[in-house]
Amino acid sequence: MSIDQAVRDQYEALPYPSRDPKDEKRRLIIGSPSHLDEITHHIFSGKLPNRPMRFLVAGGGTGDALVMLAQHLRDAGREADTIVYLDQSTASRKIAEARIAARGLKVDFITGSLLDVATLAPGPFDYIDCCGVLHHLDSPEEGLAALVSVLAPDGGMGLMVYGALGRRGVYDLQAILRQVASDGSPQRRVALTRKILAGLPPTNWLRLNHQVRGHVSGDAAEVFDLLLHARDRPYTVGEILTWLDGSELRLLDWAEPARYDPASYISDTEARNQFAALPKESRWAMAELLSGGPAAHVFYVARKGNPVTSPAADDLDAIPVLPKMSGTEIVRAANARLVLEANDGVQTLKRPLPVQSPHILPRIDGKTSWREIFAAMDRKGSDESQQKNIVETLVRALGGINLLLLRKA
């Protein structure tokens, strides 16, 4: 059996991630990439085009990104937009279709290979989501080129690929399991894998790696995808940048830029200054080495010829958006010290907030600009320069962990 066939068979037998369409009645799974606020901020300078747009979810699996994006577009009143789902797994497509139907949303479903996207789903697309797919291809370069071929000149993509450092130990186990758990049904292979995992010594790298936990709490689909996948290659920051450069793309930003900043891990001022003197690409790579992660890189890209930039961090006319927590919740979490601790279950990033935060953050509603918020506060002694400093500090602190994004009116 070819590796390509083994990959196809895996997702027919164990659609990933496991989802029950009935759960759509009680929750919407949100994440990165492809949250509509992130797309607006990173790809379109804070404002979506005032015309019907086309979105592609390439390798849509059981539909997490698809459902989130489709729901967000409807909530934003963008019924004229088109969303296309593409995946080679009929079992995964069936689940994604049922989830979309449960919400009464509209999506065009196509079954086939990402490599054939130009024929199956001709572009151009304003935005393309490809999360957790390219690293499973025989040639990720060919897969990315196929997506670029249907990307609009002024469009962009949200991508996720595995991180080499953050998945330390995964590939040791994969090598072992190819020797001792390669035969039989997926269920039998998972059962044997669980027995091997149960006996791992405390020195095993996977057991020591707290960034990867799917083998501990995951279901059969998650265990198989993590440890028994027929093809899986991770990337370092440097490898991602080289890959994008060869594809005529440029990295706009990471979904959580603070995790790619050495200052997030180093407190000493002198040491911080040494890192700050490096080019940004080197800082990103150093942060990856310092943190030993992440297990997955999530980032936004555009064509090299596309000059798009995110809204300026100190633009008082920008509209702040809080996509995950309300301003009141953030203030409460930051407590009296006004230091928000972002914990992903492994690392804690401390984000100091300005002293004005308790007065500002609860006023953020996704409709009101910074300038209007300051005017409503009617705070004497706060000139425009001071307001810009406050805003920039908030954007750096909360935007660095993807809790604050910007729109333009």
Strand-pairing partners, residue 127, are 55, 156
What does DSSP say about strands 249-254 and 125-131: parallel, antiparallel, or unpaired? unpaired
Please, what is the average pLDDT of the chain? 96
Among residues of the chain, what percentage have pLDDT more than 90?
94
Distance between CA atoms of 300 and 160, rounded to whole angstroms? 9
Strand-pairing partners, residue 254, are 299
Contacts of 50 (CB under 8 A, 6+ apart): none
What digits encode the pLDDT tens for the residues 141-186?
A: 999 999 999 999 999 999 999 999 999 999 999 999 999 999 999 9
pLDDT at residue 400 greater than cutoff 60: yes
Tell me how far apart the terminal alpha carbons of the chain are, to the nearest angstrom: 55
pTM, two decimal places: 0.97
Contacts of 233 (CB under 8 A, 6+ apart): 135, 140, 162
Distance between CA atoms of 89 and 80, rounded to whole angstroms? 28
Are 193 and 266 a contacting pair, CB within 8 Å?
no
Three-state SS at 224: helix
Both tokens assigned to 291: 């943190």
Three-state SS at 267: coil
CB-based burial, 368-390: b 16+ in 10 Å, e otherwise: ebbbebbeeeeeeeeeeeebbeb
The one-letter amino acid code at 188 reads R
User: Taking the CA of residue 353 as centre, how many other CA atoms within 13 Å lie in the half-sphere pointing to its CB?
Assistant: 26
**What pLDDT was estimated at residue 345?**
81
Contacts of 56 (CB under 8 A, 6+ apart): 83, 84, 86, 117, 121, 123, 125, 127, 128, 129, 147, 150
What digits encode the pLDDT tens for the residues 264-316?
A: 999 999 999 999 999 999 999 999 999 999 999 999 999 999 999 999 999 99
Strand-pairing partners, residue 235, are 163
Are 15 and 378 a contacting pair, CB within 8 Å?
no
Nearest residue to 69 via CA among 26, 40, 98:
40
Task: Pick the range with the lowest mean pLDDT from 38-47, 140-149, 234-243, 371-380.
Answer: 371-380
Are 223 and 190 a contacting pair, CB within 8 Å?
yes
Q: Is the dihedral of CA 96, 102, 103, 105 positive or negative?
A: positive
Distance between CA atoms of 279 and 270, rounded to whole angstroms? 17
DSSP 86: E
Residue 241 burial (C-beta neighbours within 10 Å; 0-12, 13-18, 19+): middle
**Residue 380 banded pLDDT, cuts 50, 70, 90:** low
What digits encode the pLDDT tens for the residues 100-134?
A: 999 999 999 999 999 999 999 999 999 999 999 99
Average pLDDT value for residue range 76-96: 98
**Residue 381 banded pLDDT, cuts 50, 70, 90:** low
Are 164 and 289 a contacting pair, CB within 8 Å?
no
What digits encode the pLDDT tens for the residues 53-67?
A: 999 999 999 999 999
